[in-house]
Amino acid sequence: MKMMSGCVTVNRSFSTFPSPLRFRCTFSRTFSIPNNLCLLFTVSSVPRDLRSPLEFDALLLSFSVLRHECLLGFSENMDYGGGPCMFPLHRCKTIHLVRHGQGIHNVEGDKNYGAYMNPEYFDAHLTPLGWQQVDNLRKHVHASGLMKRIDLVIASPLLRTLQTAVGVFGGEGHTDRTDGPPPLMVSNAGNSSRAAISSLNCPPIVTVELCRERLGVHPCDKRRSISEYQFLFPAIDFSLIDSNEDTWWKADVRETKESLAARGLKFLNWLWTQKEKEIAIVTHRAFLFHTVNSFGNYSHPLVKKELSKHFGNCELRSMVIVDCLRALDASTAKDSGESPSGMDL
């Protein structure tokens, strides 16, 4: 395998990859890989059953074809068996994917899909059970030490994801002092009957439209104006949102699954450009499924099974993403006698 004019020429075929970056095969077949990001694999998860103890379950999974072709120097003669894989830490990020807690739309919608059309579910807020799920996940991220490691929290700009993000990753003990910092969430935001949540001693929270739920038709997936959210969540950063009003959601057009997956890959590509190394993302069921499942097409069956599972409410799964083109840059620098940039520590 060798790099030629932005393509990769290989001497054998392998699974079709979902993405914009094109690979060309010597058998005149074309393959793709998700932008620069060449791998996602589960390293931990949180049980979604509230009755189960919340703990990290380490999942040691093999990396499959792409591990060999992309991460380990694009060797032409490697087999596809399992085994350890090694690559520099500065070539990867750890992301913690979180689906929001149960929303009012989930109660009926999980039993009858047509219920998602109910206009009363506009920008659905969390149920009391959803807040209980949030509280349990919060206990877990603190008890496991995860809270101390997270550099940044990214949230979809919808009420249920914002409530989940501040409930899980927010600070403790907000006081209404006029000279103090603003809260992450004001009291009773979104009919929550919850006290205000502090912005002290917690990672910054920023909203990004790219990780919203599947767009269109369903009122629960339409957001409020940003000015309304800024009143409810004063310390959340909304600066990356271009429009105050929701210009993405259309009442008569439902986003296709293919478009949703492409948007998810665009989000991951943007995520790679951020300086933070360990990031939590609070988002939605369909967005998570179609984004993560895109990587399953070229994974080992055990990995594909993990990546293809739907997220439960307030379920957390931790992943590693690797930029394979940076790995290639390191290999090129080695061959040319230059030192690759970037340090692990």
Q: Give the residue numbers annotated as catalytic, written as ranges.
A: 100, 213
**Chain mean position to CA 254:** 21
Cα separation of 154 and 49, whole Å? 24
**Chain mean position to CA 238:** 18
Residue 6 corresponds to which tokens in the numbers above?
């932005």
Which residues, at least 6 apart from 154, have a Cβ–Cβ distance to it below 8 Å? 205, 206, 207, 208, 211, 271, 279, 280, 281, 282
End-to-end CA separation in angstroms for the chain = 32
CB-count exposure of residue 118 (10 Å: 0-12, 13-18, 19+): middle
Cα separation of 24 and 16, whole Å? 11
Cα separation of 307 and 320, whole Å? 12
